[in-house]
Every structure is written in C-alpha cells, then in structure tokens.
Amino acid sequence: MSVEKRVIKKYPNRRLYDTATSSYITLGDVKQLVLDNVDIQVVDAKSQEDITRSVLLQIILEEENGGMPMFSYEVLTQFIRSYGQAMQGMMGPFLENNLQLFAQLQQKMQEQTRAIYGDNTMLNANLWGEFMKFQGPAVQNMMANYMEQSTSMFLDMQNRMQEQTKQLFGGFAFPAYKQGGEDDKDPS
C-alpha cells in the first residue's frame, strides 16, 4: 500500500497551488506540511517536471539566511567539493543515515522529557524553548562539529578508497592510466 503524495503545482509566476485544498499556498505553508510529516510532491504546472527537491532546497536556503544557520561555511564547502567525486553517490545515503540517527536521538530526548514532565505539550514546548534559548548556540555548535567530523570522515574514507583502487588497478595496463612514480613527474 503506497502513500499518496500531496501534489503542489508551481506556476510560472512562482505561485504554489495545493491541489488537496484547491488554494494557493506560500513556501511557509509547504514548510509546515513538511514539519507535519505530509508527503508532498511539487510539480511544474507547465512541464509536469518534479521540482520537489528544488523547492525543499529553497526552504532550506531561506532557513539558512534567517536566524540561526545550521550549516557552517566548512560544511557547505565540503558539500560542494563532494560533487563530481568518485564517492558522490555515497554522500547522500551517508547524510541520510546520520540525520535518521539524529531524529531518533531527538525523539528519545522528547520521550524522556514527557516521562519527567508528562504530556503537558505547552510545558514541554516552553521547556524546550527555554533550553534552546540558553543552550541553542551550544547545541548548534555541537551539531556543526558533528557534521564537520562526519563529512571529514566520509572524505577521508573516499580518499582511502581512491588510493586502494589505484593500488589495485595499478598493475594493469589500462590505456591513458599513469601509474604513480616516475610517470607523474613533469618532464621539463
């Protein structure tokens, strides 16, 4: 049984139309749908092309430009550097798994808070709000460090695999493949 995605059409004038409610919505409304765990699909009204990822990236961009950004300069540059690399296909699943682990950690923290303070959602929201007001920068810094370390570890793994591949295939006579050593030196 597959879950129907809520279709949102994006028109050339950049307006978003929610087909479920038959009304125009804002990017903030799309963000709220995501926060409410509603599966969405955004399609270009003219070409029917799936542009969901672009719209989600636009939401992330707006979040990064306001308030407290989640990604540091270092993390963003590492993302850009990973494009076109041999291990690019592994980067998405790597980040996805890390975010799933983070979501599980967040859920456990919320469950522990409920166990202590009960199901008083207003109290829990206020408690988390107060906690984040004072600890937000520390938590943000901790998460940025975690992401940087995870990204660095991934890139280190990528470099090691490239070196192992060179060593493994270095003994074969592939055309246009230079083995390390004397061939790598500049003849001038």
37 vs 87 pLDDT, higher one: 37
Are 92 and 128 within one domain? yes
Are 89 and 127 within one domain? yes
Are 60 and 114 within one domain? no
CA distances from 165 to 7, 86, 158, 170, 183 (A): 44, 11, 11, 8, 18
> Could you tell me the pTM of the whole model?
0.61
CA distance 46 to 82: 33
Are 79 and 152 within one domain? yes
Average pLDDT over residues 27-53: 95
Average pLDDT over residues 134-160: 76
| Kind of pairing between the strands at 6-10 and 16-18 | antiparallel
Are 80 and 27 within one domain? no
Average pLDDT over residues 95-111: 80
At 25, which amino acid appears? I
Which tokens belong to 125? 């929201």
- Do 158 and 83 contact (CB within 8 A), yes or no? no
Are 114 and 25 within one domain? no
Residue span of the structural domain in which 102 resides: 71-169
Q: Is residue 187 part of a domain?
A: no
- Confidence at residue 183, expressed as pLDDT on a 0 to 100 scale: 47
At 31, which amino acid appears? K
- On the question of pLDDT at 30 being above 90, the answer is yes
Q: How confident is the model at residue 129 (pLDDT cuts 50, 70, 90)?
A: low
At 10, which amino acid appears? K
Are 54 and 83 within one domain? no
* Tally of domains in the chain: 2
